[in-house]
Structure 1
Amino acid sequence: MSLVAGHGPLSSRRAGRLSPPVGGSMVLVEPHPRRVRAVRGDDVVLDTERCLLVHREGHPLSYAFPAELAGALPATPVPEAPGYVTVPWTAVDDWFEEGRRLVHYPPNPYHRVDCRPTTRRLRVTVGGETLVDTDQTVIVFETALAPRLYVDPAHVRTELLRATDTSSYCNYKGVATYWAAIIGETVVPDVAWSYAEPLPETEPIRGFFSFEGDGVSVSAELPAADQTFR
Structure 2
Amino acid sequence: MTLTAGRGPLSADPAGWFAPPLPDGAVYAEPHPRRVVAVRAGHPVIDTEDVVMVHRRGHPLSYAFRPEAVGDLPATPAAEAPGYVYVPWDAVDTWFEEGRELVHYPPNPYHRVDCRPADRRLRVSVGGTVLVDTRRTVVVFETALAPVLYVDPAHVRTDVLRRSATTSYCNYKGWATYWSAVIDGIAVDDVAWSYAEPLAESQSIAGFVSFDPARAEVLAELPLSSA
- TM-score computed with the length of structure 1 as normaliser: 0.94
- 2:146 and 2:226 in contact (8 A); partners too: no
TM-aligned CA deviation for residue 56 of structure 1 = 0.6
Identity %: 66
Match in the other structure for 2:47: 47
Q: How far apart, CA to CA, are the structure 1 residues paired with 2:24 and 2:226?
A: 22
Match status 1:199 vs 2:199: yes
Residue 163 of structure 1 aligns with an amino acid whose one-letter code is R
Q: How far apart, CA to CA, are the structure 2 residues paired with 1:213 and 1:164?
A: 18
Match in the other structure for 1:56: 56
Deviations 1:174-199 (A, max 9, x none): 01111111212112211111001010
- 1:190 and 1:213 in contact (8 A); partners too: no
Q: 1:141 to 1:49 in 2, by over 3 A?
A: same
Match in the other structure for 1:174: 174
- 2:36 and 2:96 in contact (8 A); partners too: yes
**Paired residue secondary structure (2:203):** helix
Match in the other structure for 1:122: 122
Match in the other structure for 2:148: 148
List 4+ stretches of structure 1 deviating above 3 A: 224-227
Q: Which moves more between the two structures, 19-28 or 164-173?
A: 19-28
Q: How far apart, CA to CA, are the structure 1 residues paired with 2:129 and 2:148?
A: 22
Match in the other structure for 1:34: 34
Match in the other structure for 2:17: 17
TM-aligned CA deviation for residue 125 of structure 1 = 0.6
Deviations 1:154-213 (A, max 9, x none): 110111111122111111000111111121211221111100101010011110000016
- TM-score computed with the length of structure 2 as normaliser: 0.95
Q: How far apart, CA to CA, are the structure 2 residues paired with 1:11 and 1:23?
A: 13
Q: How far apart, CA to CA, are the structure 1 residues paired with 2:208 and 2:90?
A: 32
Unmatched 5+ residue regions in structure 2?
none
Q: 1:51 to 1:166 in 2, by over 3 A?
A: same
